[in-house]
Structure 1
Amino acid sequence: MAVLIQVDVDVQTSEPLATPGEGSLAIAHWQNAVQAAPWETWFAEWLQALEPTLSPIGQYELSLQITTDAEIQALNAQYRAKDQPTDVLAFAALETNTPLPEEMLAEIPLYLGDIVISVETAERQAQERSHRLLEELAWLASHGLLHLLGWDHPDEPSLLSMLQQQSLLLQRVGLSIQYD
């Protein structure tokens, strides 16, 4: 399964950082964690495990942006009417009612959408849960991918199902995180 991933690391900020660490040290730590992640391999493994049948040629594309609390708060306010930071947002391209012509689907990867993760929130959550930032970023990326593929968690049973699926996806790439 071919997956094209665009990773945009945007952690430059002029605002005070909420996460412990002094300015450029925190940014360097975040960039190291983001760059250490084999994003394309992870998403390819996850898509192979999930076996989506959305693309007739089995090729997918998505965008991953790692950003700050301030930037994700602005997106959360604009698109979800929640003026607060969050850990991950997913903007599913498949939710739009703009069908692609069959000829295009047979030639190009299917664009799934955009995942945006706040590295500041991810860092706090990693510390609270006693695991590495890289593991938290993978956890959030898998959550975002499931949303791009149509998963949702409007109630407790669907949330538990989604969290279980995330655990399985992370195990597939050699990471082990369990959330209760």
Structure 2
Amino acid sequence: MDPLADVYSGESDSPLSKLAAMPSSPEFDVVVETRHAQARMIAEEDWPTWFQRWATMVDLPPSPLGAYELSLTLTDDREIAELNGTYRQMDRPTDVLSFAALEDATPLAPELLETEPLYLGDIIISLDTAQRQADAAGHSLAWETVWLASHGFLHLLGWDHPDEEQLTAMLAKQDDLLQVIGWVSADRQG
């Protein structure tokens, strides 16, 4: 008799059976809010697929459902400057802000974890600033926006860049994330 037969049949409560029942890649629900005329340059339905692929390349906090959620807001300089002033005491626009939901040590309610996706946080991108950066670098607004989304995603997961070494590591990881969704350096012109 196969010692793993109960695992394959789903009749076991062993850790192996629970692992076998989990989806091979995590599910991602991305709530996209568009508050800028140029926000539709990328189809909203692309974002969940991209975050799902990125999730396979990073260490995610455990989610009993294997499901995650985050919000992505594509906005303008006025709104992001307001948020930057409120939360970072910097009264000017920036390109991307990330608000990680799991930063504090507040325990999550177990009953929520069993029924809801794990909420990672919010990414806010100023398309005005992104456009200026894209123009200065000579690539497309779409490429810059995806780059900034990958940067924000890593911040939600605890990545930071207080020094040159960590910045280099983070930028290299962003390159990897963009490659896995088919956006490479040559696409910067697209």
Q: Tell me the TM-score normalised to structure 2 length.
A: 0.80
**In the alignment, what sits opposite 2:27?**
2
Tell me, in whole angstroms, the C-alpha distance in 1 between the residues paired with 2:27 and 2:45. 18
Cα–Cα, structure 1 residues 126 and 110, in superposed 2: closer, same or farther, change >3 Å? Answer: same
Question: What SS does the aligned partner of 2:56 have?
Answer: helix
Tell me, in whole angstroms, the C-alpha distance in 2 between the residues paired with 1:37 and 1:163. 25
Deviations 1:35-89 (A, max 9, x none): 3771111111101221424313221000000000011000000000001100000
Deviations 1:111-161 (A, max 9, x none): 000000000111111111121111111000000000000111111100100
Q: Aligned to 1:95, which of 99, 103, 110?
A: 103
Residues 55-64 or 32-41, more deviating = 32-41
Question: What SS does the aligned partner of 1:49 have?
Answer: coil
The root-mean-square deviation of aligned C-alpha atoms, in Å, is: 1.6
Question: What SS does the aligned partner of 1:95 have?
Answer: coil
**Amino acid in the other structure paired with 1:125:** Q
Tell me, in whole angstroms, the C-alpha distance in 2 between the residues paired with 1:134 and 1:114. 19
Asked whether the 8 Å contact 2:32–2:44 carries over to 1, the reply is no
Tell me, in whole angstroms, the C-alpha distance in 2 between the residues paired with 1:42 and 1:73. 27
**In the alignment, what sits opposite 2:17?**
none
Tell me, in whole angstroms, the C-alpha distance in 2 between the residues paired with 1:96 and 1:51. 18
Cα–Cα, structure 1 residues 111 and 36, in superposed 2: closer, same or farther, change >3 Å? Answer: closer
Higher relative contact order (CA 8 A, sep 6+): 1
Alignment of 1:158 onto 2:183: no
Identity %: 50
**In the alignment, what sits opposite 1:52?**
60
Question: What SS does the aligned partner of 1:42 have?
Answer: helix
**In the alignment, what sits opposite 2:75?**
67
Tell me, in whole angstroms, the C-alpha distance in 2 between the residues paired with 1:63 and 1:156. 29
**In the alignment, what sits opposite 2:18?**
none
Superposition pairs for residues 20-31 of structure 1, below 5 Å? 27=37, 30-31=38-39
Q: Aligned to 1:145, which of 127, 146, 153?
A: 153
* Deviation (angstroms), 1:162: 0.3
Tell me, in whole angstroms, the C-alpha distance in 2 between the residues paired with 1:99 and 1:174. 37
Residues 108-117 or 120-129, more deviating = 120-129
Asked whether the 8 Å contact 1:70–1:85 carries over to 2, the reply is yes
Q: In terms of Rg, which structure is larger?
A: 2
**Amino acid in the other structure paired with 2:102:** L
Q: Aligned to 1:123, which of 122, 131, 139?
A: 131
Asked whether the 8 Å contact 2:75–2:126 carries over to 1, the reply is yes
Asked whether the 8 Å contact 2:39–2:127 carries over to 1, the reply is no
Tell me, in whole angstroms, the C-alpha distance in 2 between the residues paired with 1:150 and 1:62. 14
Q: Tell me the TM-score normalised to structure 1 length.
A: 0.84
Question: What SS does the aligned partner of 1:35 have?
Answer: coil
